[in-house]
Amino acid sequence: NAGVTQTPKFQVLKTGQSMTLQCAQDMNHNSMYWYRQDPGMGLRLIYYSASEGTTDKGEVPNGYNVSRLNKREFSLRLESAAPSQTSVYFCASRRQSLNTEAFFGQGTRLTVV
Amino acid sequence: GESVGLHLPTLSVQEGDNSIINCAYSNSASDYFIWYKQESGKGPQFIIDIRSNMDKRQGQRVTVLLNKTVKHLSLQIAATQPGDSAVYFCAENNYNQGGKLIFGQGTELSVKP
C-alpha cells in the first residue's frame, strides 16, 4: 500500500496565485487532516474531516479551503497565496476519528514569492 | 484555549544514555496521546500512544508515561542511538472534539556518538 500520497512535493507560487494541494489515502480511513509546519515549529492543524462529507476548521484555517472529495481524497486550496503561507504542508489520515494514530504523507513544500 | 507544549526545545545526549522528552498539555479532557518522530525532510512517524485510562505504556526501547494529575506526558528512549536523532512531537486528542489532533511544538533530540 502507498499509504498517504501528497502531490505535488514542491511548488513555487507568486503572491495572489491559487493552487490546490492533493492528498489521497488507500487505507480506507475515515478521518483526514491538513497541517502546516513552519521552520523550527510544530504542526498546526488547518482543517480536518472526521468522515466523508464533513469538514471542520482547525487552529489556522484562514486563507484556506478544503474539499473532502470522497473517502480517499482530501484537497487543500489556497485561493490567493500570500508569503505567510510559505510552509511545508502535511496531510494525514486515521482509521477512525477516535483514539488511533494518524498516518502522514511526505509533505508538500510550498514557497510563495 | 487548549494547547500542547514541550518543556525543552532541544536535548543533546550521549549515545547509549537514556533520553527523556517531556510534554505538558492543558486540556484535561484529552483522552488519547501520541508520540511522533520526525526526521529531516520526512513526515512524522508514529512511535507510541497511550490512552487516558493508562499511566504507562512500553514499546521497543520506548516508554510513555502519563500523569493526568499534573497534565504531563513523557517519552523515554532507552540506550539512545544515533538513529534516534530527530524531532519528537507529542499530540493530543479529545473524544468530544471529534478527532481533532493537536500537536505540541516539538523537541529536537541530538545523539552524540
- CATH number for the domain that contains residue B47: 2.60.40.10
Secondary structure of B33-75 in HEC code, one letter for each residue: EEEEEECCCCCCEEEEEEECCCCEEECCCEEEEEECCCCEEEE
**Per-residue pLDDT reduced to its tens digit, A57-113:** 999 999 999 999 899 999 999 999 999 999 999 999 998 756 789 999 999 999 999
Residues of B in contact with A44 (CB under 8 A): 103
Q: How far is A101 from chain B (nearest CA, A)?
A: 7
State how many domains chain B has.
Answer: 1
Residues of A in contact with B32 (CB under 8 A): 98-99
Q: Is the pLDDT of residue B86 over 70?
A: yes
Structural domain of B104: 4-112
Out of B42, B51, B104, the one facing A106 most closely (by C-beta) is B42
**Per-residue pLDDT reduced to its tens digit, A33-54:** 999 998 877 899 999 998 888 9
Which residue of chain B has the CA closest to A98? B99
Please state, in angstroms and rounded to a whole number, the distance separating the CA atoms of residues B97 and A24.
Answer: 24
Cell numbers for A14, please give them. 507568486
Q: Which of residues 44-103 of B touch A (CB under 8 A)?
A: 44-46, 49, 51, 89, 91, 93, 95, 98-103
Q: Is the pLDDT of residue B95 over 90?
A: no
